A and B are shown apart, each in its own frame.
Chain A
Amino acid sequence: MAQLQVKKHPYAPKRSSLSEKKKDAINGYLYISPFFLLFSIFGLFPILFSFYLGFQKWNGLGEMEYVGFLNFKLILSDPLFWKALSNTMIMWLLGTLPQLIIGIILAYALNSVLIKFKSIFRVSIFMPYVTSTVAVAIVFGIMFNNQEFGLFNAILGIFDVGPISWGTSEWGVKVAISTMVFWRWVGYNTIIYLAGLQAIPNELYEASVIDGATIRQKIQYITIPLLRPIIIFTVFTSTIGALQLFTEPLIFIGRTYRQEGITVVLYLYREAFTNMAFGPASATAIILFLIIIVISSINVFVANRIAR
């Protein structure tokens, strides 16, 4: 060691400039290593292991047994899985579409010039997003009580409608769950659209007015095209979120996993942690992953088509 140091010394300036680069590299790897270390343990390995488990029969304790595509066959021939998938898709549409449309309308209203109390409106519309999903599901679950004293049924009762069995009927459950999703996310999307609207230069509108554009034309030819990237972004994220719907249905329909409200992730959770069937549960996770990839690709494809 001592010998080495003595040898190094005469060339110290030159060497240190070289090792400066090396030091940079060593530090670089060092600083990004925690992510890769943790990710390989809690992210990458579990993902790869899921693909392995999808082809095994295992309850988490005993021996694993290779079963080929049996798990996938089991899942794909289970009517409940298809029910879960169609429920997920229906609630995706019910929860997402109104959310985005009303979000745009509210953002447009908020963006109209000279709106007083703007920040009060902004804060109150955003508040649901700060409320936890569990809390939202519990509150709406009680509002959507089957009995006539449930808040929604009481309101409908004023118009002599109902009572509707929100918790047990095919569409009641879906409307209730979609309402929860809608309520929590509509303000979030409104604010995102608002940010997009505010980025549109006012000169464009002024020029269009000189050209004699009506409000509808302004929306159609200026607002919507310039808002497009943000619309695509919100469609993308809310779609992925909707495909992973779990908390609301679990809280609302509870441990019975009623088939009117079961979703794909709820199905997965039930397979894994109620039935202790890790193989079929992993197969479900893989299928969900593939569905998300397909839908995301369609999203990207459509977005690119529209953008042209």
Chain B
Amino acid sequence: MSEMKISKKFSLSKLLVYLLLAMAAFLSIFPLYWMFVMATNHNSAINSVPPAMIPGQQLVTNFTNVINTIDFFGAIWNSVIVASLATLGTLFLCSLAGFAFAKLHFKGKEFFFIFILVTMMIPPQLGLIPQYIIITRLGWLNDLRAIIVPGIIDAFGIFWMRQYISSNVPDELVEAAKIDGCSTFRVYWNISVPVIIPAFATLAIIKFMYIWNDFLWPLVVLRDQSSHTIQVALRGLIDNYVRDNGMILSGTFWATVPLIIVFLLLNRLFISSLTEGAVKS
């Protein structure tokens, strides 16, 4: 209430707040807009003073050049496959393990759970080289399984699912179902899973975005162009001798658009998933 009075009284400070937020919003969106402008302009319009600020006529030409340089759609498809399968696997295994930690009784449960929490602290680069060697030995170099299978390991996901199941699936319900002769798996599948859909949504967004945007690991294990994910493929655009910025930003723009559209459609869910998930851990 008091804040309200103040903001009504000092309309100057209110104006400043709006100016600040408008500037922040502008600076946040501008690079994305500029990406689009460049994606529709010829290289010469980009490399002139002042640079182009309004969309041009080269939309199709630039994108055709992208397709001639990298396998754009193949790479997008690879990213979709990799991110979807890793996400599905994560959802299943993390909820199963989270269910076990929340509702089943077995020896060493606390120890195993703390062990999983500790693994979250280890920087992923520590095992990078041996991981690469293992993938080579498995014959998974240039194979999407190299991303999907390690991508399913998710300590945070297990933690997240355990917390959610503990506080949202009542013990009485689990016990009642067991007395009625439900197998443990059916208690998980028929009773827990329907209740934890919101937790699935959160984890799915975090995981999908992580795998979609990951760069270092795919760069190491996906050497062959046909196996590239979109992030690795984008790098192929800037590796050329002659730098055609219109073409480069066309590829970058069209690779960014799908996720931005999904984000705009589901912005509430995205923002709460990506930040709440982080804060609660």
Contact = CB atoms under 8 A, between A and B. Distances in A.
B134 to A, nearest CB: 7
Contacts of B60: none
Contacts of B260: 127, 130-131
* Residue of B32, B94, B109, B125 with most chain A CB atoms under a 10 A cut-off: B125
A151 B35 CA distance: 12
A38 B106 contact: no
Interface in B10-56: 14, 17-18, 20-22, 24-25, 27-29, 31-32, 34-35, 38, 46-51
Contacts of A233: 278-279
A255 B236 CA distance: 12
B67 interface: no
Contacts of B22: 121
A49 B3 CA distance: 58
A151 B38 CA distance: 11
A135 B234 contact: yes
A24 B106 contact: yes
A50 B220 contact: no
B25 A20 contact: no
Contacts of B209: 130
B106 A114 contact: no
Main secondary structure of the interface of A (DSSP, over half): helix
Contacts of A115: 17-18, 21
10 contacts: A38-B149, A47-B122, A130-B260, A132-B212, A132-B213, A138-B237, A149-B47, A149-B49, A150-B51, A154-B50
Given A34-B93, A38-B150, A151-B34, A114 B267 contact: no
Interface stretch (A6-14, A67-75, A78-86, A187-195): A187-195
A36 B154 CA distance: 11
Given A23-B184, A112-B7, A205 B256 contact: no
Contact of A46 (B34, B35, B130, B216): B130
B231 A188 contact: no
